[in-house]
Amino acid sequence: MSAPPIVEMKGISISFPGVKALDRVDFRLFPGEVHALMGENGAGKSTLIKALTGVYTIDEGEVRIDGTPRRLGGTADAQAAGVSTVYQEVNLCTNISIGENVMLGHETRGPLGINWRDTHRRASEVLEKVGLGELDPRLPLSTLSIALQQLVAISRATVTDSTVLILDEPTSSLDANEVENLFTVIRSLRDEGVAILFVSHFLDQVYAISDRMTVLRNGTFQGEFMTADIDQATLIATMVGKEMKALDSLERASSRREVDRSGAPVYRAEGLGRKGSLEPTDITLHAGEVLGIAGLLGSGRTELARLVYGADKPEEGTVRLEDAEAQIASPSQALAARIAYASENRRDEGIIRDLSVRENLILAVQAKRGWARPIPAQEKNALVEKYMNALNVRPADPDRPISNLSGGNQQKVLLGRWLATRPDVLILDEPTRGIDIGAKTEIMEEVIALADEGVAVVFISSELDEVVRLSDRVMVLKDRRKLTELLAGDSLTSDTIIATIAEESAPEDPGSLEPAGTGASS
C-alpha cells in the first residue's frame, strides 16, 4: 500500500458518563481497500464510526482526512469531507420514491423547479452502478426489500463522489445471494479507488470481502492485520479476549458439583422460533444448572433469550414448565411463571434512568404483585437493603437516581431487581459487558451462588472464558440456529468453542434463506 492513508485517526478517546467508549484508538484507511472493523458488542465499533462521521465529538485525538486535520461537527461536515455512511438501519425515507432517495439534495433543477424527468434519469444512472438500473426510480422506496434499500443507500453515497464509504452492518438482513450482489458492488467501488470501511459480525463475509482489518475490544485497539495473515480462530480470540485476571479468583463452577438432570426440567421448549430472528430451537433448563450460551453477535443468542422470556412473542414451539404445558407470550406472564430476564441493553431496556436505585430494584417485584398490593415500607427497605448488601452496590444510597451509578453498579441493581422476584429461571444477557473487573467477579460469584441455591441460570456472554468458567453446559449458536450443546469438562475450553464456531462454515446458510424483507423487524 504505497499511497498515503485517506483517513488517519490517532489516539481517539471518547467518554460517556460512566463509560470510556474509546480509549486511545488508532485507525487508518487506505484508498482502494476494503477495511473491516471487528469487535464484539460494546467494543467501540459504532462509536469509532460516529466519531468519523461527526455524530460524536471526540475528547482526545486527531482525525486527518486526506492529510488535513479535521474537526467534524456533523454529518454534513463529514459528507463535505467525502465521507458517506450507510447505516445498519437503512437511513432513507421510505415514504418517497427510490429515485428521490438517491438524489435528495442533489436534484436537477430547471426554471420550473426540480426537473423530475432528468432527476430520475440521473438516479437511474447511479442505480445502474450498483446493478439496479432496471428499477423504476419512481416507485416508492417502501416497495423494495431491505436488501435493495441497502443498495439504494449505497448508490446515494456515490452521487456525492465520496472517497470514503462506511458500511455499518450492511449484510445483517440479507440472504446469501443478496450478500454476493452487495459484494460485487463493493468490489467495483473499491476498484474505482473508494476506501471502504466494512463492519459486519459475519466472519465468513469479512474474510470474503476485506483486505485488512482493525480489531477493537472494550474500547481499546487490539491490532491491525492483513486479512490474509490472520486465521479465524486467532481473530475470534483477539476479539473476545481472555480476561484471566477477573476469573482467577473463581473456581470453575462445574468442577465443584454435579448437576442432577434426571428430574423434570424447570423449563423446556421445543422448536421455539420466530421468523427472521431464530430458527426453531430446543432448549432445556435444569434446576441448579448454569447453561452458557456461546455465539458471536447476531448468532441468535439474545433472540433466544427474548423468546424464552416472552419479550418477543414466539411464533412457534411448545413450552413446558416442570412438565406442564405453558404459554409465555409477554414479560408479565414470564415473571408470573418465575422466569426473569436481564436484557443486554442495560441503558434502554434495563434501568429506568430517572427512577431511584430503590425504585429500580423493586419495580419487577411490584409489577408481579400488581399495583393494588404495594410492598409494605418495611419489607421494601429490607428487600432493598438485602440485595444492595448482597451485591455490594456502591454508593449504598438507595435514594440516589440510578443514572448516577457506574455501569457495574447499575448492573448489580438490575441483577437485584430480578433476584428479588425469586425466579426459578434467570436469564442474564451480557451481564458483564462494559463493567469493571471487580463488579464482573462479583456478578459471576453471584451466578454460581444462585445455581447452588437451585436456580436455573442462563448465562450469555461474548467473553467465552466467562462462559466456560461458569457453565455446566454450553449451547453454541451461529447464524440464528443451534449448532450443538457441549457438557462442561476438562475438554471444554474457549478454544474448543471457537473451533466449533469457526469450523462450521455455512455457505448454504439456512438461517438467512428467508425471503428478503422479513428481517425488517429490527
Partner 1 sequence: MSTDATSRTSMLRTLLHRPYFWGLIAIALLLAVNSLKDPSYLAIGYNANTGSLVGNVIDILRAAAPIAMISVGMCLVIATAGIDLSVGSLMAVAGAVSMELLASAGGSAGAALAALGLALLLGAVLGAVNAVLISVVGLQPFISTLVMMLAGRGLAKVITGGQNTAASNETFRWIANGYVLGLPVVFLLAVLIVIAVGLLVRRSALGLMIEAIGMDPRAARLAGVNRRGLLFAVYIASGALAAVAGIFASASVMTVDVSNTGYQLEMDAILAVVIGGTSLAGGKFNITGAAIGALLIATLDKTVVFLGISSSATPAFKAIVIIALCLLQSQRVRDLFRARRAKTAPVTSDAPKEAVAA
Partner 2 sequence: MSAAITTPPAAPTVSRLERLRQQLLSRADSLPTAAALVIFVLMLAYGEIAYGRIFQLSTVSNLFINNAHLIILAVGLTFVIISGGIDLSVGAIIALSSVCGVILANAGWNAGLVILVMILIGSTIGLVSGVLIQYFDVQPFIATLAMMFLGRGLASMLSTVPVRLDEASGILLLGTKIKLIDGPKVNDLVITPGVLIALLVVAAAFIILHRTRTGRTVYAIGGSEHSASLMGLAVVRTKLFIYVASGTLAGIAAVVYTARLGSAQNITGIGWELDAIAAAVIGGTLLTGGFGYVLGAVVGALVLGLMNVLITRDGSIPPEATTIITGGILLIFVLLQRAVISRQRE
Q: Give the interface segment with partner 2, choosing from 60-68, 136-144, 266-274, 350-358 (CB under 8 A).
A: 136-144
Query: Looking at the DSSP assignment, which residues form a beta bridge with residue 166?
Result: 85, 197
Q: Nearer to partner 1 by C-beta: 424 or 472?
A: 424
Q: Which three cell numbers stand for residue 24?
A: 486511545
Q: 3-state DSSP call for residue 261?
A: coil
Among 3, 59, 192, 208, binds partner 2 (CB under 8 A): 208
Which residues from 217-256 bind partner 2, rule CB under 8 A?
Answer: none
Q: Nearer to partner 1 by C-beta: 118 or 349?
A: 349
Closest of 452, 479, 492 to residue 292, by C-alpha: 492
Among 18, 20, 183, 514, binds partner 2 (CB under 8 A): 183
CA–CA dist 100, 164 (Å, integer):
22
Residue 104 within binding range of partner 2, rule CB under 8 A? yes
CA–CA dist 321, 45 (Å, integer):
40
CB of 192 to partner 2, least distance (A): 17
Residue 331 within binding range of partner 1, rule CB under 8 A? yes
* CA 239 to chain CA centroid, nearest Å: 14
Residue 18 within binding range of partner 1, rule CB under 8 A? yes
Q: Give the interface segment with partner 2, choosing from 126-134, 192-200, 286-294, 484-492 (CB under 8 A).
A: 126-134
Q: Which three cell numbers stand for residue 163?
A: 472517497
How wide is the angle at C-alpha 128 spanned by C-alphas 521 and 118, nearest 5°? Answer: 105
Closest of 497, 508, 509, 444 to residue 473, by C-alpha: 497
Residue 399 within binding range of partner 1, rule CB under 8 A? no
Residue 112 within binding range of partner 2, rule CB under 8 A? yes
Q: Nearer to partner 2 by C-beta: 41 or 75?
A: 75
Which residues from 400-459 bind partner 1, rule CB under 8 A?
Answer: 404-406, 409, 417
Cβ–Cβ under 8 Å, residues 477 and 201: no
Length of the chain, in residues: 522
Residue 389 within binding range of partner 2, rule CB under 8 A? no
Cβ–Cβ under 8 Å, residues 39 and 297: no
How far the first Cα of the chain sits from its last, in Å, is 38
Q: Give the interface segment with partner 1, choosing from 58-66, 148-156, 358-366, 478-486 (CB under 8 A).
A: 358-366
Among 63, 135, 199, 439, binds partner 2 (CB under 8 A): 135
Cβ–Cβ under 8 Å, residues 337 and 456: no
Q: Nearer to partner 2 by C-beta: 142 or 389?
A: 142
Residue 371 within binding range of partner 1, rule CB under 8 A? yes
Query: Looking at the DSSP assignment, which residues form a beta bridge with residue 478?
Result: 481
CA–CA dist 383, 263 (Å, integer):
32
Kindly give, in sequence order, each residue whose CB lies less than 8 Å from that of residue 180, ignoring residues fewer than 6 positions away: none
Residues making contact with partner 2 (CB under 8 A)? 75-76, 79, 85, 87, 91-96, 100, 104-105, 107, 109, 112-114, 116, 130-132, 134-135, 139-140, 142-143, 145, 147-148, 151, 156, 177-178, 180-181, 183-184, 187, 204, 207-208, 507
Residues making contact with partner 1 (CB under 8 A)? 18, 309, 311, 331-332, 334-335, 341, 343, 348-355, 359, 363-364, 366-375, 394-395, 404-406, 409, 417
